[in-house]
């Protein structure tokens, strides 16, 4: 771990302002991902801004019937919240499918959105990785890629977004709210929040420098059956090979976002009209343009079959 | 005491303390966090410095240069040790790996430097400032590619002969009416114990004390002496508690050498713990195997030919994975052939991991038996029963000392409800899940080794045991305490057990499933001597003396035991040594595993639903700790079946998933209720304890039972472990 300086701030705008003062500074919330990365020197920020005391820890209903989730609400509280469980069961299930009880107690809503890939080559600083060291190359593409991305990837990077929460939020049409050092606010819909890697896989979101996430807004609930099916090699405490977040209505229409296959939660709204025709047609459309490796081409079938499992479950 | 003829009745047979499911006597220390592990002996070293081990960044080649300028100038840095500054270092006598390498690099993450600083954080930060330039050379990382040119290795210190031939295997197999010839593969695996390798080293002049996490104290002292080139007498090694080892901490690894050299260079005690991501490529692992099995039988299911060939790789001079061991003994068959082949691979050293050889070999053999049963249209249990043997099939006339494989299979079949298994695979469905049942036999050798102990009796009647035996989480403290209590006729709370110190009499330590049976026999020998000393002190004849309830009864008189130590503490030392019974008899442990799995017909996810293990493993010294050993081993077997694999990157030349996020082992949610049944087995040919080991037996066969259950559920035969869903879904029918 590189030596760093540390400060604690009291408001969101102060946090953004503090970040503006020190290039490369990082916000510290739950720290469940950042501290691990710092110990391995994958992240080496010169300055840490502790945002643990700036509030943003409430879950509130909005006048329009939606739900505003503070950036620092922890995963445990969010998953257990009565409105979340009643109206956004998908989110609760996705959260509880991730990490462990101890991690969920610390991990925050904003931090979870920004967690970094689990590509093993990203994690080993001796290996080539364009995400960790831009322009250095990618050892994963010709290496062990069973866990890695099949779509939205590039010849510079095939890493996936590893989380569960954002996959559910993508299906729920969530919006990310932010503030900058001048107090200006933005609302970024989750469908454009994550960048695809292209030749710049180290740039992962459209957040601007010094911009702080303050909340996630969920639109009013849409009903339907909420299913989060996370497929992995062990039953708990593992990242998804494929995860499917689905909201299926009685008439067979629905929304489906998929995790574990792309640099961001993968949802193609245009494919969803095919859901009533079944998983095969839907998955074919969803995965158009996929470029799997030999080691992860099984994910093409796995996506289709997991969607089929979810549709089967929704009909029972 | 020398054990040369089968044991008669002795005080252990009373089983008033032995054989009881006693809670661990060291349990409260562990549950309260007060059991001290290697890195935690903060009371014995004041002002320690911290060493951080730097691993090679390449798989094979040479260090061109190490620029230490920035690292040396970093805050808190006290010393930097490299092979160039350390002076000559030899390999140890068990592991072949160089524990501090340079300039030649033999494998990825081989230790190349130790950075010593005032704090752990300073050492770690400075370590990243070392600028090491390498010249890479081409290495061999692909077992399949190296297989055909791999020679038959020399006979090693452990493991079966590299090649065995009985009868005419080739002819018998060729002419067998029913035959199987299949190849199975098992991956590299890592021990993934909770406690990382860790050592505190302190020099007092030329005397070295190491507090370390190491399973065999005697090997550890020998290997520190060998590697550093110092006399054994100058070394004290202490390993009070071990947070899991599974064979991965057999003897000296890089942490001990790094700490010792660093402490010498810094002139202060030094603490070193290997960072988790370093452990998989730096230390030892269970090597991958390719196994070819051929079985020939007559239509009634009688095996006439059985052949097992195994290929594995290792660093030059390393040992083979002896997967053929079980096949030599498990089933009858007049014509037999086994062969080991060993390739040179430039990966980390392959070595012992829980049931080395047996665990891997049975992963293959017991699938082959399932496949063969199907070819014969026989029930897999019935096929195994048909081929049981009561004598060593390689040496007719040499009996097994005890062998209840048949009872294990039959008892397990009844308990598990095997009769409900559908012969036709893929026919049982519950919602999205296909359900299947699988069985496998288990066999594991039952070695006993020379072991010594010292016992002390105080005037308060407290019996203290001292031996360098270790407790790797197995319950050694408790069973050794139970042994002394039974022998001296006292309750367990009157016994103090002290372990894991090289100043104590020598045991063989924990490994090879020999620890419990060997160490308790050493304690037995010492206690026999103490009983004589007590009788002598009390002026009674030992033949008349009965040790019970803290009293010594002789004739119509009763003496409190402590009275024998009224004048002075009684202290005796003895060891148990062995004659030829282990050659006269085949001494093994046996078992059977029954598993039910569900396979999601959509996604191919496999979940274990039920497990039953039957074990036949000598006298059970403590049913609770024995059961804990078995359920832990069963869990490891599930890991081997379904998820554990160190993935080799054949371009870069290393194990890619080298942390506990990437290398998955089972979590609680993966493990259903596990039933363990311990069959009675008092084996007088073993030792006066009449006991055998059980910690490795519990793992052997489990993975194959899972694999066979997956086949029964789906009709898909996977011969390449682990059985992950990507190996199933392209053949799995969603609608049945």
Q: Does A302 touch chain B (CB under 8 A)?
A: yes
Residue B473's pLDDT band (boundaries 50, 70, 90)? very high
Q: How many CB atoms lie within 10 A of CB B29?
A: 15
Percent of chain A whose predicted confidence (pLDDT) is above 70: 100
* Chain A residue whose CA is closest to B108: A126
What pLDDT was estimated at residue A316? 81
Residue A58's pLDDT band (boundaries 50, 70, 90)? very high
Minimal Cβ distance to B602: which of A143, A235, A309: A309
Minimal Cβ distance to B128: which of A41, A127, A241: A41
> Judged by CB atoms within 8 Å, which residues 95-154 of A form the interface with B?
118, 120-121, 123-124, 126-127, 139, 142-144, 146
What pLDDT was estimated at residue B120? 97
Torsion angles phi and psi, residue B500, rounded to 5: 65, 40
Please indicate whether, in this complex, the C-beta atoms of B664 and A41 are within 8 angstroms of each other. no
Contact indicator for A51, A16 with CB cutoff of 8 Å:
no
pLDDT tens digits, A187-224: 999 999 999 999 999 999 999 999 999 999 999 999 99
Average pLDDT of chain B to the nearest whole number: 97
Percent of chain B whose predicted confidence (pLDDT) is above 70: 100
What pLDDT was estimated at residue B543? 95
Cα gap A172→A92, rounded to integer Å: 12
* Chain A residue whose CA is closest to B649: A143
What pLDDT was estimated at residue B157? 83
Paired with B184 in beta bridges are: B291
Please indicate whether, in this complex, the C-beta atoms of B651 and A146 are within 8 angstroms of each other. no
Minimal Cβ distance to A234: which of B651, B667, B730: B667
Please indicate whether, in this complex, the C-beta atoms of A124 and B669 are within 8 angstroms of each other. no
Mutating which of A44, A120, A316 best tests the B interface, going by the most B Cβ atoms within 10 A? A120
Residue B126 in 3-state DSSP?
helix
Percent of chain B whose predicted confidence (pLDDT) is above 90: 98
- How far away is chain A from the Cα of B735, in angstroms, using its nearest Cα? 11
- How far away is chain A from the Cα of B566, in angstroms, using its nearest Cα? 55
Q: Does the pLDDT value for residue B735 go beyond 90?
A: no
Cα gap B632→B707, rounded to integer Å: 19
Cα gap B33→B446, rounded to integer Å: 33
Q: Specify burial of residue B394 (Cβ count, 10 A radius: 0-12, 13-18, 19+).
A: middle
**CA max distance for chain A:** 58
Q: How many CB atoms lie within 10 A of CB B671?
A: 17
Cα gap A74→A36, rounded to integer Å: 18
- List CB contacts (< 8 A) between A312 and chain B: 432, 602
- How far away is chain A from the Cα of B405, in angstroms, using its nearest Cα? 32
Taking residues B414-419, report their average pLDDT: 98
What pLDDT was estimated at residue B158? 85
From B482, B480, B483, B495, select the one nearest B561 (Cα to Cα). Answer: B495
* Chain A residue whose CA is closest to B75: A3
Taking residues B563-585, report their average pLDDT: 98
Cα gap A236→A234, rounded to integer Å: 6
Cα gap B196→B55, rounded to integer Å: 15
What pLDDT was estimated at residue A264? 98
- How far away is chain A from the Cα of B124, in angstroms, using its nearest Cα? 7
DSSP class of residue B645? -
Minimal Cβ distance to B661: which of A39, A118, A127: A118
- List CB contacts (< 8 A) between B125 and chain A: 1-3
What pLDDT was estimated at residue B210? 98
Mutating which of A143, A246, A314 best tests the B interface, going by the most B Cβ atoms within 10 A? A143
What pLDDT was estimated at residue B108? 98
Please indicate whether, in this complex, the C-beta atoms of B726 and A306 are within 8 angstroms of each other. no
- How far away is chain B from the Cα of A70, in angstroms, using its nearest Cα? 29
Q: Which letter, b or e, does each residue of B152-171 get, where b requires 16 or more Cβ atoms within 10 Å of its Cβ?
A: ebeeeebbbbbebebbebee
Handedness of CA A207, A208, A210, A214 (dihedral sign): negative
- List CB contacts (< 8 A) between B657 and chain A: 120, 144
**Is B696 annotated in the active site?**
yes
- How far away is chain A from the Cα of B343, in angstroms, using its nearest Cα? 23
What pLDDT was estimated at residue B278? 98
Please indicate whether, in this complex, the C-beta atoms of B659 and A123 are within 8 angstroms of each other. yes
Contacts of B87 (CB under 8 A, 6+ apart): none
- Crossing angle between the packed helical segments B358-375 and B623-642, to the nearest 10 degrees: 70
Q: Does A208 touch chain B (CB under 8 A)?
A: no
- How far away is chain B from the Cα of A9, in angstroms, using its nearest Cα? 26
Cα gap B115→B304, rounded to integer Å: 60
Average pLDDT of chain A to the nearest whole number: 97
Q: Does the pLDDT value for residue B284 go beyond 80?
A: yes
Q: Does the pLDDT value for residue B736 go beyond 60?
A: no
Dihedral angle at the C-alpha atoms of B664, B668, B671, B677, nearest 10 degrees? 120
From B266, B269, B272, select the one nearest B253 (Cα to Cα). Answer: B272
Q: Does the pLDDT value for residue B78 go beyond 90?
A: yes
Minimal Cβ distance to A120: which of B57, B125, B657: B657
Taking residues B622-634, report their average pLDDT: 98
The size of chain A, in residues, is 316
**Residue tagged active-site, from B309, B506, B596, B696:** B696
Cα gap A95→A91, rounded to integer Å: 6
What pLDDT was estimated at residue B156? 86
What pLDDT was estimated at residue A294? 97
Q: Does A228 touch chain B (CB under 8 A)?
A: no
pLDDT tens digits, B89-141: 999 999 999 999 999 999 999 999 999 999 999 999 999 999 999 999 999 99
Please indicate whether, in this complex, the C-beta atoms of B668 and A236 are within 8 angstroms of each other. yes
Paired with B655 in beta bridges are: B648
Cα gap B240→B696, rounded to integer Å: 22
Cα gap B106→B654, rounded to integer Å: 11
Minimal Cβ distance to A234: which of B277, B651, B670: B670
Contacts of B448 (CB under 8 A, 6+ apart): B514, B517, B518, B521, B578, B582, B587, B686, B687
Residue A314 in 3-state DSSP?
helix
From B726, B132, B560, B498, select the one nearest A292 (Cα to Cα). Answer: B726
* Chain A residue whose CA is closest to B650: A143
Q: Does the pLDDT value for residue B593 go beyond 80?
A: yes
ipTM associated with this complex: 0.97
Minimal Cβ distance to B603: which of A39, A123, A305: A305
Residue A84 in 3-state DSSP?
helix
Label each residue of B32-71 as H, E or C: CCCCCCHHHCCCCCCCCEEEEEEECCCCCEEEEEEECHHH
CA neighbours within 13 Å on the CB side: how many for B260? 32
Q: Does the pLDDT value for residue B413 go beyond 70?
A: yes
Please indicate whether, in this complex, the C-beta atoms of A309 and B603 are within 8 angstroms of each other. yes
Please indicate whether, in this complex, the C-beta atoms of B724 and A233 are within 8 angstroms of each other. yes
pLDDT tens digits, B436-467: 999 999 999 999 999 999 999 999 999 999 99
Cα–Cα separations (whole angstroms), residue B249 to A195, B177, B255, B446: 45, 47, 11, 21
Q: Does the pLDDT value for residue B625 go beyond 60?
A: yes
Cα gap A169→A167, rounded to integer Å: 5
Cα gap B168→B149, rounded to integer Å: 25
Contact indicator for B30, B478 with CB cutoff of 8 Å:
no
Q: Specify burial of residue B339 (Cβ count, 10 A radius: 0-12, 13-18, 19+).
A: middle
- List CB contacts (< 8 A) between B121 and chain A: 1
- List CB contacts (< 8 A) between A127 and chain B: 652
- Crossing angle between the packed helical segments B358-375 and B702-714, to the nearest 10 degrees: 30
Cα gap A110→A213, rounded to integer Å: 6
Strand order of the β-sheet with A242-248 is: A225-231, A242-248, A254-259
Please indicate whether, in this complex, the C-beta atoms of B603 and A302 are within 8 angstroms of each other. yes
């Amino acid at each position: 771990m590189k030596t760093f300086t540390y400060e604690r701030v009291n408001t969101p705008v102060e946090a953004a302002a503090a970040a503006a003062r020190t290039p490369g500074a990082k916000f510290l919330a739950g720290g469940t991902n950042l501290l691990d990365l710092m110990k391995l020197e994958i992240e080496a920020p010169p300055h840490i801004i502790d945002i643990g005391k700036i509030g943003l820890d409430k879950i509130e209903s909005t006048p329009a019937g939606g739900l505003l989730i503070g950036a620092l609400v922890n995963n445990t509280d969010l998953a257990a919240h009565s409105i979340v469980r009643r109206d956004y069961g998908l989110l609760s299930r996705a959260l509880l499918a991730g990490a462990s009880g101890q991690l969920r107690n610390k991990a925050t809503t904003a931090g979870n959105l920004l967690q970094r890939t689990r590509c093993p080559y990203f994690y080993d600083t001796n290996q080539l990785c364009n995400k960790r060291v831009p322009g250095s190359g990618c050892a994963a593409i010709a290496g062990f890629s069973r866990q890695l991305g099949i779509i939205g990837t590039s010849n510079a990077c095939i890493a996936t977004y590893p989380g569960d929460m954002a996959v559910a939020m993508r299906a729920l049409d969530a919006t990310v709210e932010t503030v900058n050092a001048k107090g200006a606010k933005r609302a970024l819909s989750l469908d454009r929040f994550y960048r695809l890697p292209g030749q710049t896989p180290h740039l992962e979101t459209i957040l601007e420098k010094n911009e702080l996430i303050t909340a996630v807004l969920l639109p009013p609930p849409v009903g339907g059956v909420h299913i989060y099916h996370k497929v992995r090699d062990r039953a708990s405490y593992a990242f998804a090979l494929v995860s499917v977040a689905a909201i299926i209505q009685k008439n067979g229409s629905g929304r489906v976002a998929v995790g574990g296959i792309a640099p961001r939660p993968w949802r193609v709204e245009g494919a969803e009209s095919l859901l009533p025709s079944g998983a095969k047609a839907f998955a074919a459309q969803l995965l158009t343009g996929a470029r799997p490796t030999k080691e992860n081409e099984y994910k093409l079938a796995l996506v289709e079959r997991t969607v089929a499992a979810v549709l089967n479950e929704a009909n029972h | 005491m020398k054990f040369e003829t089968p044991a008669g009745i002795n005080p252990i047979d009373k089983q008033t303390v032995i054989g009881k499911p006693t809670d661990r006597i060291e349990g409260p220390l562990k549950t309260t966090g007060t059991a001290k592990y290697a890195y935690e002996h903060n009371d014995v070293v004041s002002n320690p410095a911290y060493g951080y081990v730097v691993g090679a960044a390449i798989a094979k080649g040479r260090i061109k240069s190490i620029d230490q300028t920035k690292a040396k100038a970093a805050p808190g840095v006290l010393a930097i040790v490299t092979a160039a500054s350390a002076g000559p270092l030899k390999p140890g006598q068990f592991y072949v790996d160089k524990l501090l390498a340079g300039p030649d690099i033999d494998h990825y993450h081989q230790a190349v430097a130790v950075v010593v600083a005032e704090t752990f954080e300073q050492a770690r930060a400075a370590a990243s400032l070392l600028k090491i330039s390498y010249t890479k050379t081409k290495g061999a990382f692909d077992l399949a590619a190296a297989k055909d040119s791999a020679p038959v290795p020399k006979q090693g210190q452990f493991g079966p002969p590299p090649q065995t031939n009985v009868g005419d295997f080739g002819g018998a197999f060729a002419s067998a009416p029913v035959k199987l010839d299949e190849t199975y593969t098992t991956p590299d695996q890592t021990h993934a114990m909770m406690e990382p390798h860790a050592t505190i080293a302190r020099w007092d002049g030329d005397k070295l004390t190491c507090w370390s996490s190491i399973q065999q104290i005697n090997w550890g002292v020998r290997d520190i002496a060998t590697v550093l080139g110092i006399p054994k007498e100058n070394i004290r090694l202490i390993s009070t508690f071990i947070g899991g080892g599974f064979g991965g901490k057999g003897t000296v690894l890089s942490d001990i050498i790094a700490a010792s050299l660093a402490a010498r260079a810094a002139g202060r005690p030094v603490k070193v713990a290997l960072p988790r991501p370093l452990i998989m490529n730096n230390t030892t692992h269970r090597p991958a195997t390719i196994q070819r099995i051929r079985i020939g039988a007559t239509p009634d299911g009688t095996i006439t030919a059985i052949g097992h060939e195994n290929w594995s790789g290792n660093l030059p001079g390393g040992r083979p994975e002896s997967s053929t061991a079980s096949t030599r003994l498990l089933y009858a068959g007049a014509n037999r052939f086994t062969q080991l082949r060993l390739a040179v691979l430039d990966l980390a050293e392959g070595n012992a991991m829980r049931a080395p050889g047996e665990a891997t070999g049975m992963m293959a053999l017991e699938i082959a038996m399932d496949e063969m049963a199907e070819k014969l249209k026989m029930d897999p249990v019935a096929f195994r029963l048909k081929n049981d043997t009561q004598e060593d099939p390689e040496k007719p006339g040499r009996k097994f000392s005890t062998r209840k494989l048949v009872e294990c299979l039959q008892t397990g079949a009844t308990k598990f409800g095997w009769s409900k298994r559908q012969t036709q695979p893929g026919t049982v469905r519950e919602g999205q899940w296909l359900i299947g049942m699988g069985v496998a036999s288990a066999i594991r050798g039952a070695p006993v080794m020379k072991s010594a102990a010292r016992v002390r009796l105080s005037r308060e009647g407290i019996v203290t045991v001292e031996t360098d035996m270790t407790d790797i989480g197995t319950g050694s403290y408790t069973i050794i305490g139970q042994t002394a209590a039974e022998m001296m006729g006292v309750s367990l709370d009157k016994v103090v057990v002290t372990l894991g110190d090289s100043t104590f009499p020598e045991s063989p330590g924990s490994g090879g499933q020999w620890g419990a049976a060997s160490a308790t026999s050493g304690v037995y020998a010492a206690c026999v001597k103490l009983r004589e000393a007590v009788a002598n002190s009390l002026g009674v004849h030992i033949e008349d003396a009965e040790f019970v309830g803290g009293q010594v009864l002789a004739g119509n008189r009763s003496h409190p035991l402590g009275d024998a130590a009224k004048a002075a503490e009684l202290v005796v030392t003895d060891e148990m040594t062995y004659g030829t019974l282990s050659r006269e008899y085949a001494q093994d442990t046996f078992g059977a595993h029954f598993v039910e799995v569900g396979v999601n017909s959509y996604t191919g996810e496999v979940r274990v639903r039920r497990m039953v293990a039957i074990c036949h493993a000598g006298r059970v010294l403590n049913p609770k700790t024995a059961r804990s050993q078995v359920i832990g081993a069963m869990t490891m077997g599930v890991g081997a079946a379904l998820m554990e694999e160190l993935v080799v990157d054949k371009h870069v030349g290393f194990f890619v998933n080298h942390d506990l996020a990437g290398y998955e082992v089972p979590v609680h949610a993966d493990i259903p209720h596990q039933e363990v049944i311990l069959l009675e087995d008092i084996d007088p040919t073993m030792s006066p304890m009449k006991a055998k080991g059980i910690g490795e037996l519990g793992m052997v066969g489990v993975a194959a039972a899972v694999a066979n259950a997956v086949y029964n559920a789906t009709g898909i035969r996977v011969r390449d472990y682990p059985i992950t869903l990507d190996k199933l879904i392209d053949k799995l029918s969603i609608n049945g």
